[in-house]
Structure 1
C-alpha cells in the first residue's frame, strides 16, 4: 500500500503536480463509472425487451414449434444479461421469478461428499464440537447415468467463544443451483454438438423422472455462456498469435424477439492450420456479412490469410495481411463447368489440379521446409505450365461465357493461388476451415435459427470451445466438465491453462 505524501513537506510546484494528478484520476474514475452506467442501462433495456417477449403475448407469425425454440433462446439471453448485471454490481437485486425447486428423485443413486474444516481446533485453543450440518443436493450426469451429489457441510462450534466453523461452499458455475459441471457439460454438448433443442432434452429428463423445465435449462445455458466467455477471449488472443489463419463464413437464420421473419446473419470461422502446433478455431457471430466484421476480428493481426474470393477480406490485404487463395475453389469452378456441359477444357484443368493435390499428399508428412522444397521442384513447374495453358485457352473463348468465367477466376487470383509454393506451412486450400463450419450447417436443420445477436454470440463462444477440444483430440464432454469445475477458482492470469490446446485433466495435473 502506497504511503500518502506529507503535504506539509511539499513545495508549491509539488502541490500543483499532486493536485493535477488527483484531478486526472478523478476524471478517469468518472469516465469509467459513466461507461459502466451506459453499459448497465443498455443491458437493462435489452432485458426489458426480452422479458416483454418472454411474459407477453407470443408472436402470431410463429408456429408452436418455432415459438417454443424462440422461448428457449430468449430465456438463455435473460439469464446471461442478469448474470452480467450482477457481476457489474454485486449489490443489484434483480427481479426474478424463483420457481419452487422440487426435491431430486429419491431413487437416483447418491454420492455423499463431506466438507469439513481443515482443523477442528478453535483459535482460542478449545476443541470444536459438531453441532449439526447443512445438506445440499446437486444433479450430476455421466454419459448415460443421472446421479445425485449429496454435499454435507458439518457445523462445528466452540463452547468457550461460541464461534461456529464450517467448510466453505465449493465454488460453482451456477451458485446455489442444482446442476454439477458434469450435467452442464452434458447440456451444452447435447445442444451445440449433438444439435438437440432444449425441448427435446426436457423430454429426455422427464423420462428419467426429472421434471426440469426448458426455461430452467435455457437459464443454465445462458449462464454458462457468460461464464465461459473469458476462456473464449483468451482462445481468440492465442489464435491471433498464429502467422497463418483460415477464414470462412456461413449464413445462419436469426429471429429477434417481436419480429415475424428471420433474416440472414452470419457465422465467421477463424482457425489455425491443420499442421499448426496450436490447433484451435474461434467462431464469431455477426448480424451481417459486412467485411467490417472480419476487419474487427483480425484488427492488428498481420499474417497469411487463407480465404475465398469474398470481397469482405480484401480491405485487410492493404494493411499487412497476405492473401492466400484456395485451390479447391478454383477447381470447383471447373468442376461445375464440366458437370454442366462435359467441357474438355474443364476436364484438362481438373487433371492439372489433381496432379497438384497428388504432390500435396506425398508431402503431407514432411517438415514445412522439406514440403516447400518439394513444391518448388514439382508443383511450381506444373503451375507455370498450367498458367500458360489457361492464358492460351482464355483467348479462344468468348467473354461472358461459362468457360471464360471459370478461367478468369483462376487467372485473376493466380498470385494468391500459387503463394503456397513459397511457404511449406501454408496449405493449398481452405478446406480445413470449411470442415469447422460443417457443424453449423448440421445444426441449422435442428435449432432452425438464432434468437438474438447475444444468443448467437453465446452459441459461437461455446461452439468455439467444443470444436477446439475436438481438434486437439479431447472428448468435448470431459473437457467442458473439467473446465467448468475449475473455472470458478482459476486465477485470471492462469486461464490459458484451461484452453483446449493446453488442457490437462485435473486428475492428471
Structure 2
C-alpha cells in the first residue's frame, strides 16, 4: 500500500511539473515572447487609467515644408472665371505652395580617374600620377555602395542574395555574395580601433548590463554575448557560453562596478558587484504562483512590485524599505518550508533535484544583496531590460537571415553591430557612419558617457 502511495505521489509530481512546463510563457519564465501561445500574455505594467495612444503634451512628428527646394514647378492659372473673364489676362497677386518630398532617381555615378603618365627625358623612366587610396583597382564600387550593402545586411539583417537584389533594383549594381562578405570583413578590420576604445569606455561605467543568446554557425550552436549601458554596446561571438567567452571579450573580468544580469552562474565568477534582474524574478514568482500553487511566491511578487513602483514614483522611505526586507525574508522562509528538501534517490549519485520553488527561494537567500541592490545603490536599475533590448536584434537576425557560415564572419558581424548600436544610442546617423568606414575616416561616437 505504501509503495502504491509513493508511486502515486511521484506520478502526481511529474504531472504537475509537465503541466507547469507546458503552461510556461514569457510572463512566467525567461522564454522570449515569440514562443508564447496565440493569446496575448499578461503584462507586468500597472493600470494608469489613461486612454491608449498619445498623451497630452506629446510632441507629434509631421512632415514640414522645406526652406530650400531643389526644383520649382510654376502652375499658371488658365481658363475662364465663372463670369467669363479669361484668367490669362489677369496679373497674379501671389502663389500658394505645396511640396513633394521624394527620392531622386537612383543610379550609379561613375567617376573616372585619369592619372598623367610621363617619361623622364634623362633616364627614360616611365611614371604615372598616384591614384587615391580608395581606387586600388581598375574598376571598383565606391564607399556608398559598400556602405549600403553593409547597412542592409548588418543593420537590417537582409540576407546576402536579397541585399544584391535590392542594390540592383535601386541603382543597377549587383555585387556578389563574396563582395558583400569582403565588405563586412573590411568594415570589421577598420573598426578595430573603435572596439578598443569602446572596451576601455565600458570599464569606466558605474553600471553594466550583460546577457547572451544562441547563435548558429554552420548549423552548430554558439553564443552571442552583449555587454552594454545606455550609450555603449559591445557584442562578442564565441563558441562557448561560459567564462572563456567573457575572457575573449576582455571587459567583464576587469570590471569592478555594478553588473546587472539574470543570475547565470558564470557571472558570479566575476569580481564585479552583482545585481540581479527583478523582471526575471517577477516572472519566475508568477510561474510558481500560477502553475505550482505556491502562495508565498504570489505574495512575494506583489510585495516586490509594490516596493519597485514606490521607488520608481519617489515615494519610497527607509521605513518602507526596512518593512519590505523583513517581509522578503519571512516569505523566503515560508517558501523553504513549503518546499522541503527532496530525499536522496537510492542508487543515484550527485545532488538530488529540488523543486523549482525551493531552488528559487535558496537563490534569493544566497544572493539577497544582489536581488535587493536596486533599493540601496543609486543608479542600479530594477531590471536588465537594457541588455534584453540590446540582445533582441540577434533573435531577429536569427529568424530573418539564419546563422553564419564561419566563426570569423560572426565575429566581424558582432563588431559591426557594436558600432551600429552605439551610433544609434547616441542619435548618430548609421548610414553616414558606415560610409565613413569605407572612406577611411571612421566617424567615432562619444566614449565619455
TM-score normalised by the shorter chain: which range applies?
0.5 to 0.7
Equivalent residue number for residue 219 of structure 1: 182
Identify which of 141, 147, 150 aligns with 1:185.
147
Equivalent residue number for residue 501 of structure 1: 446
Equivalent residue number for residue 109 of structure 2: 148
Q: Using a 3 Å threshold, how does the CA distance of structure 1 residues 310 and 339 change in structure 2: closer, same or farther?
A: same
Paired residues, what number? 330
Equivalent residue number for residue 94 of structure 1: none
Higher RCO (Cα < 8 Å, 6 or more apart) = 2
Contact 1:266 1:289 in 2 (8 A): yes
TM-score (norm. length: structure 1): 0.58
Q: Using a 3 Å threshold, how does the CA distance of structure 1 residues 385 and 168 change in structure 2: closer, same or farther?
A: farther
Equivalent residue number for residue 156 of structure 2: 194
Q: C-alpha distance in 2, partners of 1:435/1:244?
A: 16
Q: C-alpha distance in 2, partners of 1:438/1:337?
A: 26
TM alignment of 1:44-63, pairs within 5 A = none
Shift of 1:235: 1.4
**Alignment pair present for 1:250 and 2:204:** no
Structure having the larger proportion of residues in helix: 1
**Alignment pair present for 1:267 and 2:224:** yes
Shift of 1:206: 3.4
Q: C-alpha distance in 2, partners of 1:405/1:195?
A: 39
Equivalent residue number for residue 334 of structure 2: 392
Structure having the larger proportion of residues in strand: 1
SS at match of 2:270: helix
Shift of 1:217: 2.1
Equivalent residue number for residue 287 of structure 1: 239
TM-score (norm. length: structure 2): 0.65
Equivalent residue number for residue 263 of structure 2: 309
Q: Using a 3 Å threshold, how does the CA distance of structure 1 residues 325 and 471 change in structure 2: closer, same or farther?
A: same
Q: Using a 3 Å threshold, how does the CA distance of structure 1 residues 149 and 186 change in structure 2: closer, same or farther?
A: same
Question: What 5-or-longer segments of structure 2 have no aligned partner?
Answer: 1-102, 342-353
Q: C-alpha distance in 2, partners of 1:375/1:183?
A: 58
**Alignment pair present for 1:355 and 2:306:** yes
Report Cα offsets for 1:250-280 as digits up to 9, x if no partner. 111112xxxxxx22111110012x3xxxx10
Question: What 5-or-longer segments of structure 1 have no aligned partner?
Answer: 1-141, 256-261, 364-372, 491-497, 504-509
Report Cα offsets for 1:62-118 as digits up to 9, x if no partner. xxxxxxxxxxxxxxxxxxxxxxxxxxxxxxxxxxxxxxxxxxxxxxxxxxxxxxxxx
Identify which of 465, 468, 479 aligns with 2:419.
465
Q: Using a 3 Å threshold, how does the CA distance of structure 1 residues 309 and 502 change in structure 2: closer, same or farther?
A: closer
Q: C-alpha distance in 2, partners of 1:443/1:327?
A: 27
Q: Using a 3 Å threshold, how does the CA distance of structure 1 residues 266 and 167 change in structure 2: closer, same or farther?
A: same
SS at match of 1:145: coil
The alignment yields a C-alpha RMSD, in angstroms, of 3.3
Contact 1:155 1:164 in 2 (8 A): no
